[in-house]
Structure formats: structure tokens, C-alpha cells
Amino acid sequence: MRGPVNIVRLLRTGATFERTGAMTQILDAMQAPPLLRGLVRGLVWPFRWLGYAGDPAMPPVTRAITALGPAYVKFGQILSTRPDIVGEGLVQQLRILQDRLPPFPTPVARAAVAADLGRPVDELFSEFSEPVAAASIAQVHRARLRATGEEVAVKVLRPGIERAFRRDIDAFRFAARTLDLFVPQTRRLRPIDVIAHFEGVVRGELDLRLESASASEFADTTKDDPGFRVPAVRWAHSGKRVMTLDWVEGIGAADVEALRAQGHDTEDLARRVLQLFLRHALRDGYFHGDMHQGNLKVDAEGNIVAYDFGIMGRIDDYTRRVYAEILFGFIQRDYRRVAEVHFEAGYVPADRSVDQFAQALRAVGEPIFGMDASQIAMSRLLAYLFEVTERFGMQTRTELILLQRTMVVVEGVARTLDPRMNIWDGARPVVEGYIRDSLGPLALARDLARSARILARFSPRLPELAREGLIRTATPPAPWRPGLLAAALYMAAGAALAVLGGLIAGVL
């Protein structure tokens, strides 16, 4: 019964956008042609009664997204950093999703804290405020530790959030399987893997013990970064559904006018937030995966303060080098090298033309150089890049999904702080420094030393491993002799797949 239920959920998604008035605003932002508008409205309008009404006090798009659930809110948070894609009008609505969603009652939060930490709130805190911020998965209260008098931020998960998240993801998974089955053009995007990756990432947000560990590790790896702070975790006041951090006063990164009024250089902040992200990703292979404005503050000294460590990204050494070489090639406008790196990493099928891929990448990169960000139509560039990767059969790399998504978000934050910023100019010093440190002679020596240490660790077993390998090589594999039942099942499965493939081909 899950299939029909998920079909209803997807219909309800469109119906909710129609019922709240969000559909018209989205089609306007997309500059959809009249034919597309008529088709979409004609398909959705009969099911308008299925849609959620949402909170009438909210703007239409925010009203629809919050009514649909936490997974939709997460997607809206990503778009809230991209005025170049969705337009400034929609961005103003979507920014509400970052930290100004309707809170749940404080007595419910106090009960959750007491249940998770095993002590009444009044024994732990001398003060416990009303919610100061509320997002899709949790809300934050300002409190004061009874033992020391220090101010802290207490994050509490929303009640029932796990069940709501499972419901949303189930519908997304159904949509991904449907696309994979009936729309072959989407298979290279690996929608099923993408949804599985998204599910795994956000499930980590539903256990605040893991987020506390992430915050602690992130503080350790970034402690020497000038102009950047991570609040300390208060482990004695943290658990599965509650996390307590030091309180830090600051101005939200979205409030550009307030930052300027306090004398902060927003152009420097824009450049710094981009460079910090790249430094964490390339140098450490560990980065904040949700760096939208709602998770960033600027303190009185001009430090960027990060919050919300439920989504953190990791990339291995090899992937970091590939990513850096691609960025460096774009910065140097060496499109041939960018193309070669894609082929060497296996991102593009080997039977495609390197020269043609390089030419297509030039058409993506050249419009960026010599322009500030305000002159670049990023939505058109993204659309063309999508066409290029589709034409050359490049599959979605699930290990890079979070990195690429965060890069888009961080660029959006930087452009909010400085609309004229050029991402390539900002990235150049960090990427060039990483290339110099990671691909030069010293890096080669480090790699050889690391390989030698690994071989030394296994050296006592090397004779045994070599002997086992020689035995396997010398012994021919036994022939496979399926039983009658196994053979019949195998043939039946092949026939069923052939029939199914013919049906799908006929439909398409």
C-alpha cells in the first residue's frame, strides 16, 4: 500500500503549493511560459482540496513548505541562499525557513530536556528562555547554567520529528524510483542514490549526541583559523535530543544592514566565508555541510561563528585532490586539464572525447571571468552545465553531493554579503595554496612515507598473503552447476526482465 500512499503524498505536494498560492509565485519566479503554466495548473488544480492550508500568517511559499514537512524545509533552506536562481522576492520568503519557523511550546521543550538529561530543568539551569530560534528539526533556548552562571544555548529536537522525516523521505524515495524506472534520462543523476545520501545525512541530525561530537571535532580542526569560532559543547548538559553549547552574541549573517551599521566589512566577510569553507574541505576533508545564513553569526570582534553541526561533510584525500584540480583548472582557464581530470577520475565515460568535453567546459567557465557576480546569470550557467554533463554521460557522484550543495549555499551567502563578489577570485588563494602543498614534491614524499608505513604494518603477513594469492591464481575456479530449480528461476527472472523492458520501451 505504500505506492498509492506516496502517490497521494506527491499529489498533495502540488496541491499544497496551489492551495496556498505558492504555485503562482514559483511559476512567476521561473518565468514559465504560458503553455507550461496552463499544463501545471491544469494537472494540479483538480486536486487542490488535497493540499494543506498551512499558516495563513506566513508568505505563500514559506506557508506551503512548512506545511509539507521537514524534508521540504531543508530543500527550501538551500534555495534561500540563491536569489540569482529563484529571485529576490522568493528568497525573502525562504529565509524565514532558516531560523524563524513557528516554535513548539516551551513547556514541551522543558519536558524533553528533563527526560533526556534525567534531571528537572530548574536543577540544571537558573534561567531558561522562550525559543530564540526555530528551524525544521529543532529549536534553541537561551539559558544560564545553575552551577557556574554561564550563558548557554540549548538545542531541543522537535517532538515527533523522526516520524515526520521518515514520511517525507518515503515519498521522495518513491518519486526517485518512479523516475529511475520510467524516465531513463534521469538515471545518470542516480536519483535513488541521491535520496539515500540525503536520508543518511539528515538522519545524523536526529541524534544530537552525534552533532555534539561533530561540533567538538570541528572545533579541534579549525581552532587555529583566524576570524572563525565554533562554540564549545557542554557535554554534561547534552544528550540524544538535547545539545548545549556556549552562548555567543552576534549579528546574523543575513542581516547585512546591521553588519554594516556595526562597522563590519561585508566584502571581507563574503570572501572569508568562501575561503573558510574551501580551506576546511580541502585542507581537513571535514566541513560544515549546512552553512546558510541562519547558521552563521558575526561577533563583535568580526569573527564568523558557526552553529548547527548536524550536517557535516567528509571527503577523502584523493577526492579532495580531484576537486582542487578541477577548481584550479577553472581558475587558470585550463579547460583541457579540467576535462582530463574528469576522465582520470572516471567521472566521464572513457569512450567520450576529451577535446569536445574541454570545449563544452570552456562555454561554462568563460562567461564567469571578467565579470562580477551581479552580472552572471547563475541559473543559465547551471542549466547549461546540466546539459553538458548529460551530453557526456557524466553520472552524479554521491560522494560529492554534499560538497557541491554546500558550495552552492556558501556562494549564495557570500553573494548576499557582497553582490559583486566573483567566486573564482575569492577561491584562488586557497585552491592555489592547496595545490602547492598537496601536489608538489613534499606532498609526494609524504605519500610515499605513508605508503611505506602501511606496508610496514602488514609486513609480518606479507609472505602469507603472497602465498594465498599464488594458490588462488594457480587453482582454476570450479565450474558453476546450478540445480534444476535454480536454473528455472534464473530463466524465469530473465524472461520477466525482458518483458518488463519491452513494456517500458513501449511506454516511452
| Termini Cα distance of the chain | 26
Mean pLDDT along residues 137-163: 93
pLDDT category at 292 given cuts 50, 70, 90 is: confident
**77-110 exposure pattern, b = at least 16 Cβ within 10 A, e = fewer:** bbbbbbbbbbbeebbebbbbbbbebebbebeebb
How far apart, in whole angstroms, are the C-alpha atoms of residue 459 and residue 451? 12
Closest CA to 116 of 245, 246, 236: 236
How far apart, in whole angstroms, are the C-alpha atoms of residue 297 and residue 217? 20
pLDDT category at 490 given cuts 50, 70, 90 is: very low
pLDDT category at 487 given cuts 50, 70, 90 is: very low
| Residues 6 or more apart whose Cβ sits within 8 Å of residue 500 | none
Query: Which member of 99, 116, 225, 290 is catalytic?
Result: 290
**262-301 exposure pattern, b = at least 16 Cβ within 10 A, e = fewer:** eebebeebbbbbbbbbbbbbbbbebbbbbbbbbbbbbeee
Whole-number average pLDDT of the chain = 78
Tens digits of residue pLDDT in 333-385: 888 998 898 888 888 888 889 999 899 888 877 776 666 556 655 555 555 66
Tens digits of residue pLDDT in 392-423: 777 666 556 677 778 878 888 888 899 888 77
* Domains detected in the chain: 2-99 (no CATH), 102-135+137-166+173-247 (3.30.200.20), 250-439 (no CATH)
Q: Are 307 and 231 in contact (CB under 8 A)?
A: yes
User: Which residues on neighbouring strands pair with residue 304, listed in sequence order?
Assistant: 228, 298
Maximum mean pLDDT: which of 5-19, 142-156, 331-345:
142-156
Q: Measured at the alpha carbon of residue 473, what is the angle toward residues 468 and 474, in degrees to the nearest 5?
A: 100
3-state secondary structure of 242: strand
Residue 28 is a catalytic residue? no
Mean pLDDT along residues 23-35: 72
Whole-structure pTM value: 0.71
> DSSP string of 13-54?
HHHHHHHTTHHHHHHHHTT--HHHHHHHHHHHGGGGGGS---
Tens digits of residue pLDDT in 71-126: 778 777 766 665 655 666 777 777 777 666 788 999 999 999 999 999 999 999 99
State the pairing for strand pair 151-157/296-298. unpaired
> DSSP string of 425-480?
HHHHHHHHHHHHHHSSHHHHHHHHHHHHHHHHHHGGGHHHHHHHHHHHHHSPPPPP
| pLDDT for 492 beyond 60 | no
Mean pLDDT along residues 192-203: 72
| Residues 6 or more apart whose Cβ sits within 8 Å of residue 182 | 504, 507, 508
Cell of 382: 547551471
| Residues 6 or more apart whose Cβ sits within 8 Å of residue 156 | 109, 112, 113, 138, 139, 140, 141, 241, 242
